[in-house]
Amino acid sequence: MKMSKGQLSAWLLGLAVAGMTLVWGGSASAESGQPAPWEYKLQEAATPVMENITWFHGLLLTIITIITLFVLALLIAVVVKFNARANPVPSQTTHNTLIEVAWTLIPVLILVMIAVPSFRLLFLELDVPNADLTIKATGKQWYWSYAYPDNGKFEFDSLMAQDKKPRLLAVDNEMVVPVNKVVRVQTTGADVIHSWAIPSFGVKIDAIPGRLNETWFKATKVGMYYGQCSELCGKDHAYMPIAVRVVSDQEFTAWVEDAKKKYASAPTSSYASAAGLSQ
Ligand SMILES: [Cu+2]
């Protein structure tokens, strides 16, 4: 098969367009907040942070694709134009100042172009804005406990529910938060290191014994959002999912009133009782 230069560039262009369609194309999952069959992309964003992560991921994939296709085109050009048959007398050239300066400077410029949005995203993730409420998530072998210090100081355990869907993600008592509110999440571990993570929120933070980590999210859509413990923590690491139910303000207030009664008799966290801090 012999390809003309025009055919080859048309073919490469087609490949690039197909790649970009995959990267920037429509949503893969019908239901947000959980994984979908054959999903190859990031879950649909439910917070501003995750929207930024998705955008940055798309940018990087675009840059990588263009660079890879460019290198592939150069390789093909070398193979076609400079093989022994097509080019029996090789050139003796060893240096070309212009090209050497270009292949140093252009990669530097590309890296700077990546660094600017990268640092902006890091600051967005790390800088917790003024929070509307704080929730403390304690990782335990093998479930999570959630405390609401701003809403009545109750605490409850959240265990995987065997009989509920989605399988391995549903829990008995979900963490409940109001929509469009900045939620500060503080994490700690009661026994070993766990990690509190929700893909569609763009949040993943270690829960470390003896330490208090914090992160934040602002869910912009009501619904159910699922995640999993993301630090290998022992035998049942795969069976301590995280489920967050995002509701309207009124529903949240009603839920808090309910929860205060429902969890009134729940034991306080092991830390609070060990330190004599129980309310
Ligand atoms: Cu864990």
Distance 231 CA to ligand 1 centre (A): 6
The reported pLDDT for the residue numbered 271 is: 47
The reported pLDDT for the residue numbered 22 is: 59
Distance 171 CA to ligand 1 centre (A): 14
Distance 279 CA to ligand 1 centre (A): 27
Distance 138 CA to ligand 1 centre (A): 10
CA distances to 138, 184, 211, 228 from 240, rounded to whole Å, are: 12, 21, 20, 7
Distance 240 CA to ligand 1 centre (A): 6
Residues 33 and 84: their CA atoms lie apart, in Å, by 57
Residue ranges near ligand 1 (ion) with Cβ within 5 Å: 194, 229, 233
Smallest CA-to-CA distance from 65 within 23, 2, 121 is with 23
Most distant CA atoms of the chain, gap in Å: 89
Residues 120 and 165: their CA atoms lie apart, in Å, by 37
| Per-residue pLDDT tens listing for the chain (279 residues) | 455 666 766 766 676 666 565 555 554 445 689 999 898 999 999 999 999 999 999 999 999 999 999 999 999 999 999 999 999 999 998 999 999 999 999 999 999 999 999 999 999 999 999 999 999 999 999 999 999 999 988 999 999 999 999 999 999 999 999 999 999 999 999 999 999 999 999 999 999 999 999 999 999 999 999 999 999 999 999 999 999 999 999 999 999 999 999 998 655 554 444 444 443
Distance 101 CA to ligand 1 centre (A): 50
The reported pLDDT for the residue numbered 126 is: 93
The reported pLDDT for the residue numbered 264 is: 82
Distance 207 CA to ligand 1 centre (A): 8
Distance 96 CA to ligand 1 centre (A): 56
Distance 191 CA to ligand 1 centre (A): 10
Distance 187 CA to ligand 1 centre (A): 12
Residues 115 and 48: their CA atoms lie apart, in Å, by 20
Whether the full predicted model's pTM is greater than 0.85, yes or no, is: no
The two structure tokens encoding residue 108: 């530097």
Distance 229 CA to ligand 1 centre (A): 5
Strands (E), the chain: 133-140, 143-148, 154-158, 175-178, 183-189, 194-198, 203-207, 213-217, 223-228, 241-247
Given its phi and psi angles, is residue 191 left (phi above 0), alpha (psi -120 to 50 degrees) or beta? alpha
The reported pLDDT for the residue numbered 15 is: 64
Query: How big is the chain, counted in residues?
Result: 279
Distance 173 CA to ligand 1 centre (A): 17
**Contact predicate 140/190, CB 8 Å:** yes
Distance 169 CA to ligand 1 centre (A): 13
Distance 244 CA to ligand 1 centre (A): 16
Which run of H or of E encompasses 260?
Answer: helix 249-262
